[in-house]
Chains A and B, each alone.
Chain A
Amino acid sequence: MAKDYFIHFAQAHTEFRLPELQSISELYGFSVSLPTDPQEQNPSRPFMIVGLESEDHARLLAGRCILVRAVYELWARGTSYTQLHAMNASRKHIWESYQPGTSFKFNVSSVNHTIPQARQREVMENFSYMAFQGPIDMKNPGIIMSCFEECKSIISSLIKRNDGDFKEAFFGKLVAEGSARSLISKFDVKKRVYFGNTSMESEVSLLMANQAQAGPGKIVYDPFAGTGSMLYTSAHFGAFVFGSDIDGRTMRGKNPKSSPGVVRAAQQYGVGTRLIDCCTFDVTKNPWRCGGIMDAIVTAHLILDSPQDGVRAGAKRLGRKEGRELRDMSRAAKDGTYIPPTKPYELSELAADLVTLSRYLLKPGGRLVFFLPTVTDEYEEVDVPTCEGMTLVANSMQNFGKWGRRVCVS
C-alpha cells in the first residue's frame, strides 16, 4: 500500500525535478505517484508530496536524485498549526509505535528563513500531546522528526519576513537525507585534472546521467565528447562509456605525450576502467559497424560565440566551404598529421542528425539526452526534432536571461 512522503527539493534546476524522479524510479522499477493538483507539483515550492510503495523506494530516490535534499514520511500538514495538529492527532496509528522509548531528535525549521529559537521551542512543545517517552538524543537518535514551515514566496528573502507567517507547514519522520547532492562538488569542473572551456557544470551533467538512467552494465555514448564531462558522471553510476569527437585534441589535451586528458580525469574519479574508448571521428561520417548497441546517448552543446552572433554551438563537420580548392593529401596522409578541413554545422541540422543517429545506435527503449542552446523568445516544442520511433519523454528548460538551454530526452 502506498504511503505519503514529502520530498524536500533543492531550489535549483527545478525543471528537472519531475523528469529526474521519473527516470530514477523507472530505472529501479518502482512508481512514484505525483499529486494530482498542479499547484502541489509547482516546482518553485520546496516540498512535494509523493506516494511510494515502500521506504526503500524513498531511500533509493534520496541516494540517486541530485535535486533531492531529503525524504520524509508525511505525518501531517496544514496551512495553520491547528490544521496540522488535527491531522497529526487523527493519524496516531502512524507514529504511536515510537511512543514507548524510541530516542528522538526534533527539528523545527523553515526554508529561506531562520525561526527564532524561542519560537522553535514553542512549536516543538506544542507537539507534546504525542507523549514520546524516549530520550532526546541529538547525536544518534532512533528517529528524527522535522517540522518545516514553507514561506509564502521564495523570492521574499528580499522582503522582511514576518516570522510565523507561512504558506503551509509539513511534519514527518526523516527517512533519508539526499546523498547524491555531494556529487556536485565531487565532479566540480574546477577540481578536475582535465577540463576546458566546453566542460559542462557538474550539476547538469549529473542530472543528465540520471535522465539517461545510467547504471551498471549499460553503455552510454557521447558523440560530441570534448573534455568528457558527460562521460564521468554516467561512469560514476556504473555505466561503461564511449566518447568520440571530431577533434582529438579536445579529448587528449595539450600534451600529446602524456596519457589523454579524458583518461586522466576518468581515473581521478575512479572510473578509468569504465571508459571503454575514445575515438576521433565526425559523427556525421561515423564508422560504427552496426546499430542497436548503446543504452543511452548523452551529449551537450554550448554557446561558444557571443549571443549577439546568433546561436552557434561551434559544431562543425568534415567538408570544405564552397569555393575552396581541394588540397593535395598524399603527404599529410603519410605522416599522420593531416587534419581534414571542416565546414560549419548548423545546430538545427545537428539536432535532427542526432535524433536520427540515436534511433539507429540505441537499443530499443534507449534514451537520447541532449542539451542544446535555445533562444527563449522563439522557443517552441517544434524546436525539438522528431523522428518516427522516438518519443519525447521530457523537455526541460533552464532560463538563462534571453538565452535558454534545454535538455531533451527522447
Chain B
Amino acid sequence: MVRLITHNLLACHAKGCTTNNFPLAFRDVQLENREAEYNPEFLKGFMPKIEWNALVSTARELGDVSLPAECPEPGTETDEFLHALHHVLMEIHVEEGSMVCPNCQHVYRISNGIPNMLLAEHEIK
C-alpha cells in the first residue's frame, strides 16, 4: 500500500506549510505491484480529482512512463489509457520508504505500507 491514488490526495499539512506542499516526494522506496480490480467507471469518475502533473511525474520517478503528459478530455479516454491509469493509480504500492514535503522537508515515513502522517506538536497548525 500507499498507492498512487492515495499519494495524489495527500499534501503536507504542517504548520504554515501551505504552498508548494504537494506532491510529496518519494524517497528510498520499496515498490510492489499487486493486481487490483479494474473498474473503468470508477476511474472516469475519479479523474476530475486527480492532480494530473503530480501523478505523471510521480509515476515516472517510480519508473512507469505509461501515462500521457496531458490528461485526456472527459469522454475521449481509450481503453488502453484507462488500463494504464488503473495500473498507476491502483496497482503500484509503496511498501517502505518516506514521503518528503518539497516545501518544509517534513519526512512522512512509510512502514509496512502505512504512512505516518502525524505531526509533532510544534508542527500543528
Q: Which residue of B lies closest to A341 (CB)?
A: B121
- Known A240-B42, A273-B37, A278-B1: A319·B124 in contact at CB below 8 Å: yes
Question: Do B119 and A256 have beta carbons less than 8 Å apart?
Answer: no
Q: Chain B: how many interface residues by the 8 Å CB criterion?
A: 39
Question: Do A278 and B121 have beta carbons less than 8 Å apart?
Answer: no
**Which secondary structure characterizes the binding site on chain A?**
loop
The answer to whether B83 has its CB under 8 Å from any CB of chain A is no
A252, B113: Cα distance in complex, Å: 10
Q: Which residue of A lies closest to B93 (CB)?
A: A277
The A240-258 residues at the B interface (CB cut-off 8 A) are 240, 242, 244, 246, 248, 251-252, 256
A220, B91: Cα distance in complex, Å: 19
The B68-125 residues at the A interface (CB cut-off 8 A) are 90, 107, 109, 111-122, 124-125
Q: Which residue of A lies closest to B11 (CB)?
A: A289
Question: Do B121 and A289 have beta carbons less than 8 Å apart?
Answer: no
For residue A341, which residues in chain B have a CB less than 8 angstroms away from its CB? Answer: 121
- Which of B9, B37, B111, B125 is within 8 Å of A289, CB to CB? B9
For residue B1, which residues in chain A have a CB less than 8 angstroms away from its CB? Answer: 263, 275-278
- Which of B42, B49, B125 is within 8 Å of A293, CB to CB? B49
Q: Chain A: how many interface residues by the 8 Å CB criterion?
A: 44
The answer to whether A326 has its CB under 8 Å from any CB of chain B is yes
B104 to chain A, nearest CB (A): 12
A338, B108: Cα distance in complex, Å: 12
For residue B34, which residues in chain A have a CB less than 8 angstroms away from its CB? Answer: 273
A217, B39: Cα distance in complex, Å: 7
Q: Which positions in A face B, CB cutoff 8 Å?
A: 216-217, 240, 242, 244, 246, 248, 251-252, 256, 259-260, 263, 273-282, 285-290, 292-293, 318-320, 326-327, 329, 332-333, 336, 338-341
